[in-house]
């Protein structure tokens, strides 16, 4: 049976990072099978890990959900924050979001309990496409579309070239492989446009389609197979925002 370091096992549940897990262990807040343990302990899948006397591991199937996040919901696991995604979904098992989608935006976000796939998806520079439909405050020009696609100064860098397509006078589609903080809003602001509506409709091979705001569904078997293939060669780099 596979064994792994305790801090790694804790981080893979999505509870916290390895560094934060080390601190919890050092401070005596972590137990394995009811006994306090120290740093460096190794555990297997059959061991029960608890933090602050709350079990964070148990034998549950891997959960992969497609969720249509409504406007106003915050992508955080901190249930003390009003409007957090965990309380809103009220899912019966412990899950967490993959990446972020800011509070004023809506659309597709993945929810899972599989820390391994989270790490793979969040690794940058792997050309994981994210598609958005964006509405702005004034008429879209050909120059706007060209500049958005060729790169915009954002957060001390220039955004990567990307596919941008006009839908109508006030709405465009954009496909990103980057994950800079509030990237689309910042790009539009640079060109003196204000985003009035932003909706993510696709991440990699999975689309929102007709899923209504506030609703979720499980990945199909085919979607999961393709996803695993797409992230199979993810390289370790800085984490990016979805």
Treating both helix axes as pointing N-terminal to C-terminal, what angle do 115-122 and 221-231 enclose, rounded to 10 degrees?
A: 50
> H or E stretch including 111?
strand 106-112
State the pLDDT confidence band at 230, using cuts at 50, 70 and 90. confident
Q: Is the pLDDT of residue 236 over 50?
A: no
Length of the chain: 242
Percent above pLDDT 70 for the chain: 92
Q: Comparing 49 with 121, which gets the higher pLDDT? A: 49
Domains and CATH numbers, the chain: 3-55 (3.10.290.10), 64-124+209-231 (3.30.70.580), 130-203 (3.30.70.1560)
State the pLDDT confidence band at 237, using cuts at 50, 70 and 90. very low
What was the pLDDT predicted at 35?
86
What was the pLDDT predicted at 53?
83
Q: What angle do CA 187, 170, 208 make, to 5 degrees?
A: 80
pTM of the model: 0.73
Q: Comparing 232 with 97, which gets the higher pLDDT? A: 97
Exposure of 170 in the CB half-sphere (CA atoms within 13 A) = 9
> H or E stretch including 149?
helix 142-150
Catalytic residues: 102
């Amino acid at each position: 049976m596979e064994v792994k370091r305790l801090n790694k096992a804790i981080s893979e549940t999505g509870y916290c990072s390895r560094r934060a897990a080390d601190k919890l262990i050092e401070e005596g807040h972590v137990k394995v099978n009811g006994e306090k343990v120290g740093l460096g302990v190794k555990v297997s899948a059959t061991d029960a890990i608890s933090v602050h006397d709350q079990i964070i591991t148990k034998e549950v199937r891997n959960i992969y959900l497609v969720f249509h996040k409504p406007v106003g919901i915050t992508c955080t696991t901190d249930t003390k924050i009003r409007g957090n995604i965990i309380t809103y979904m009220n899912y019966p098992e412990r899950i967490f979001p993959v990446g972020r989608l800011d509070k004023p935006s809506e659309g597709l976000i993945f929810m899972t309990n599989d820390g391994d796939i989270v790490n793979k998806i969040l690794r940058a520079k792997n050309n994981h496409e994210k598609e958005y439909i964006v509405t702005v405050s004034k008429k879209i020009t050909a120059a706007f579309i060209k500049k958005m696609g060729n790169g915009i100064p954002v957060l001390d860098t220039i955004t990567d070239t990307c596919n941008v397509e006009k839908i109508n006078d006030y709405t465009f589609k954009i496909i990103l492989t980057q994950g800079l903080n509030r990237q689309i809003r910042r790009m539009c602001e640079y060109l003196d446009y204000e985003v009035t509506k932003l909706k993510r409709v696709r991440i990699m091979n999975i689309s929102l389609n007709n899923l209504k705001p506030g609703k979720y569904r499980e990945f199909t078997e085919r979607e999961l197979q393709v996803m695993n293939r797409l992230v199979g060669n993810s390289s370790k780099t800085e984490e990016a925002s979805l």
